[in-house]
Chain A
Amino acid sequence: MTLASPLLLNQLTASGVAALLTLAALAILTVRGPRGSQLIYGACALICAALACLGLCSLFSPRAGIAIVELPVGLPLGRTQLGLDPLSAAFVAIINIAAAIVSGYAVGYGTHASEPRRVVPFYPAFIAGMNLVLLAQDAFSFLVGWEAMSLASWALVVSDHHSAENRRAGLIYIVMATAGALTLLFAFGLLAAHGGGYAFSEMRPATNSAVGAAVLFLALIGAGSKAGLVPLHAWLPLAHPAAPSHVSALMSGVMTKVAVYGFVRIVFDLAGPPAWWWNIPVLIIAGLTAFLGVLYALMEHDLKRLLAYHTVENIGIIFIGLGLALAFRASGLGAAGALALVAAIFHVLNHSLFKSLLFLGSGAVLNATGERDMEHLGGLIHRMPVTAVAFLCGCIAISALPPFNGFASEWLTFQAILLSPQLPQWIPRLLIPAVGATLACSAALAATCFVKAFGITFLGRPRATAAAAARETDRWSLTAMLIFAILCLLAGVVPGAVMDALAPVSKMLLGAQLAPQLTQPWLRIVPIAPERSAYNGLLVFAMIVIAAAATAFVVRRFASHAMRRSPAWDCGFPDASPATEYTAGSFAQPIRRVFGSVVFRAQERVEMPKPGDTGAARAYVEIHDTLWEAFYAPVIRVVEAITERLNRLQFLTIRNYLTIVFAALVLLLIVVGTGR
């Protein structure tokens, strides 16, 4: 159906971005207290909702080519070009749905900010920056949006600037973000040089395989560092938790998706047809990212950092899908490529939903208890029942368990992996099953991790007074979280709708698309052929509900209704003190034993008191951030060494400086004298 002319849609979207920017300016001037920030957040929610609708409309509106909105601003030697093609339209829809709901949450949550003026103005600017990236059809405005996104989020990260930890996070974040942007700058420089212009339309024809390869690696570094690919993820678990929780939700659930968009845009759209080996680096890095991300998460006891590390894992899953798409595309297997790509973008949507939900939940917890450390939480399910329900949905979804949405996209990814024998080359055919195993492993680990996250935080008994005194959060927040939970379920139950919505994207990027799914009987999804594989989320969900209901009914019908509350039995010697509960650390101990000793050089040490000594025995756990020690510490050491050396030049005598000048002069004279 055509709802409006694409041009009009693009103009409206652009004006939506402008509206967000004006909102930011307005916030600087007006916001003083909670009231003002509530208004701003409300407005953000509305604008984002509108933007999401626009994105959907232009996704579904049939188009020939792309209607460019040209603005006279921007690059002096070019013109700013904005517009939505199916790819950007899909992402606009995805990020703005999440952003809208998060803004709604912020209406309630944002009132707790101690210094709203450090948060509220940057919030709309942040969203505006992300939308600008998606709208941009030329390199300059793309990078402007990219950097605006980084800057605004940096300001939000350091908004609570009193803690040195946050300042450090902000520093690492902004530096790595800028480095990434620089590599993207290189990529665009290459493309522009070969295409003869900074507009994407001019770059596309530049199909030179060497250039393409270089661009692939640059994009992998540039966009990958923003998305959080290992080993460029270091900033992510520092920065995301440091920001206020609704911002963390945006950064983890939404901003990383913009990075994924950047990668797809550059590699699939601009870099020309892929060579057969392009998928190899992508798949290897993606597999590592997925696996290491979840392992790091398992070692975390800080709720928000745990979630941040899971973002790393999910980015890995998404990039596995993208790598598969690259492989299939290179071998001309259009349908398979479409399947992989759809799976990846579907997972983008899912992650933006459940990760935002989980961060909002952690925000609610943080707000109610003032605690991010799970070792001090527990038993919140009694005091925050609604939050608990929503959070549980998020946990099941991110653990890729049916009938929620996380499973649907991972199922599709598995189906894509199973198509890889069709590939002619040997290396991918050997690599991809290994990647599949990694994917399966990380899915199982994720389940473990979220049993820990939910179990330790919400179940059991409170481990600290703060947790015991917690209160359920405000209505706005609860509504937002419940909406997210419902969306997670919906996307899992009718995945066909999403897949059909993403068909134009795969058509645009790969020239192939999956068969329409909504026409299948009983709303099942059939990626390739019904006798090959099919999944029907709706039916599975219905069956579980019916079976559970039936069982419950039967049991209640025939069973004795007598029920008694009593102290826990605990094999006969229950201990009242919560200290005897299983903690996050002890829950993760088996995993630490199995994987950690290799990956983290983890060591456990127990100090037993002397016989007869009544002192307590102490257990120490030592864990190394091996990636940091391998990749970042050396760089820092080198820089320090260099600065140490060079710094002496600040403290020479005038005569020494004269000597340097003299030396330079003589040197140049010699150069010229012996020049020919």
Chain B
Amino acid sequence: MTGLDTDIAHLLAGAMVLVSFLLLYQDRMFALLNVFAVHACVLAFSVGWQAYLQRAPHLFITALIALLFKGVAIPVALHRIVVRLGIHREIETVVSIGPTMLFGIVLVGLSIVVMLPLTQAEGAFVREDLAFALAVVLLGFLMMVTRGNAVSQVIGFMSLENGLVLAATGARGMPLVVEISVGFSVLIAFFVVGIFLFRIRERFDTVDLRALDMSRGESA
């Protein structure tokens, strides 16, 4: 492959990290959803590019899933849920945006540091792709941890999972990638449906997980 090809892949991976940061930055629900849609689209592009590079047509399926399911279906569904639940107020953040961003940067640094000792045989680009993927994963995780609201946690989880798909596609010729991405889509569907169910069963007046934790097996 030519340097340009890898550069593009590299660029896309980098873009995902950037978008992850944008995700962390959002403090409005709808904006968050839109940014996530972008996140998914970038993933779709990068996966598609990998499919083209690796001459692996099956990866296009993954790309397609990313584009349609995560880029369109889920955001729309979540949009409706948000409206239905009437939680399109500000996202209450457990840790305020600023420190979160700072910590995010630290995480990116960390993910690069841990990737450094990889032997050169891997080729610099794969290594840095990995670093980016790891960064996306960690940022997604960070989002799950710092957001006190189920919908944004779902989004955090999904961005985390995007990072995984990025890594998986980055790994050349890795089998089962499609199956895995499908599996994850199922997982996310569970997630969303779960939130939805909780709502319409009116067991919990809000999907804020703190409320979800009200009913303890053994009340302290």
Contact = CB atoms under 8 A, between A and B. Distances in A.
Does chain A touch chain B in the assembled complex, meaning CB atoms less than 8 Å apart?
Answer: yes
A266 B145 CA distance: 56
B212 A654 contact: yes
A672 interface: yes
A282 B9 CA distance: 76
B117 A676 contact: yes
Nearest to B156: A658
Interface string B184-220: 0000000000000000000000000110110010101
A670 B109 CA distance: 11
B117 A658 contact: no
Interface residues of B, number: 21
Nearest to A647: B220
A657 to B, nearest CB: 10
Contacts of A651: 216, 220
Given A651-B220, A655-B209, A662 B145 contact: yes
Interface string B4-19: 0000000000000000
A665 B107 CA distance: 11
Contact of B218 (A650, A662, A672): A650
* A contact residues, range: 10 to 19
Interface string A201-240: 0000000000000000000000000000000000000000
Given A669-B110, A673-B110, A654 B142 contact: no
B220 A655 contact: no
B110 A666 contact: yes
Contacts of B153: 655
Given A650-B218, A651-B216, A655-B209, A673 B145 contact: no
A603 interface: no
B144 A658 contact: yes
Contacts of B220: 647-648, 650-651
Contacts of B145: 655, 658-659, 662
A654 B145 CA distance: 9
Given A670-B110, A673-B114, A662 B142 contact: yes
A658 B140 CA distance: 12
Contact of B209 (A653, A666, A674): A653
A655 B210 CA distance: 8
B141 interface: yes
B124 interface: no
A653 B114 contact: no
A653 B213 contact: yes
B213 A666 contact: no
Contact of B113 (A653, A662, A673): A673
A652 B210 CA distance: 9
Contacts, number: 44
A666 B218 CA distance: 31
Interface in A630-654: 647-648, 650-654
Contacts of A659: 145
Contacts of B117: 676
A647 B219 CA distance: 12
B110 A672 contact: no
B16 to A, nearest CB: 19
B94 interface: yes
Interface in B144-158: 144-145, 148, 153
Contacts of A669: 110-111, 114
Contact of B148 (A655, A665, A666, A674): A655
A302 B77 CA distance: 76
A345 B146 CA distance: 70
A384 B142 CA distance: 82
A666 B114 contact: no
Nearest to B212: A654
B142 A655 contact: no
A649 to B, nearest CB: 11
Nearest to B112: A673
Contacts of A670: 110
Nearest to A652: B213
Given A650-B220, A651-B216, A659-B145, A666 B107 contact: yes
A446 B168 CA distance: 81
B110 A654 contact: no
A650 B213 CA distance: 11
Nearest to B216: A651
A653 B153 CA distance: 13
Nearest to A648: B220
Nearest to B95: A659
Given A651-B216, A653-B213, A665 B110 contact: no
Nearest to B107: A666
A303 to B, nearest CB: 44
Contact of B94 (A654, A655, A676): A655
B20 to A, nearest CB: 15
A672 B113 CA distance: 10
A672 B117 CA distance: 10
A590 B78 CA distance: 85
Contact of A654 (B114, B141, B209): B209
30 contacts: A647-B220, A648-B220, A650-B218, A651-B216, A652-B213, A653-B209, A653-B212, A653-B213, A654-B209, A654-B212, A655-B94, A655-B145, A655-B153, A655-B209, A655-B210, A658-B144, A658-B145, A662-B141, A662-B144, A665-B138, A665-B141, A666-B110, A666-B138, A669-B111, A669-B114, A670-B110, A672-B114, A673-B114, A674-B113, A676-B117
Interface of B: 94, 107, 110-111, 113-114, 117, 138, 141-142, 144-145, 148, 153, 209-210, 212-213, 216, 218, 220
Q: Which 8 A-B pairs have the closest CB atoms?
A: A673-B114, A653-B213, A673-B113, A651-B220, A659-B145, A662-B145, A654-B209, A658-B145
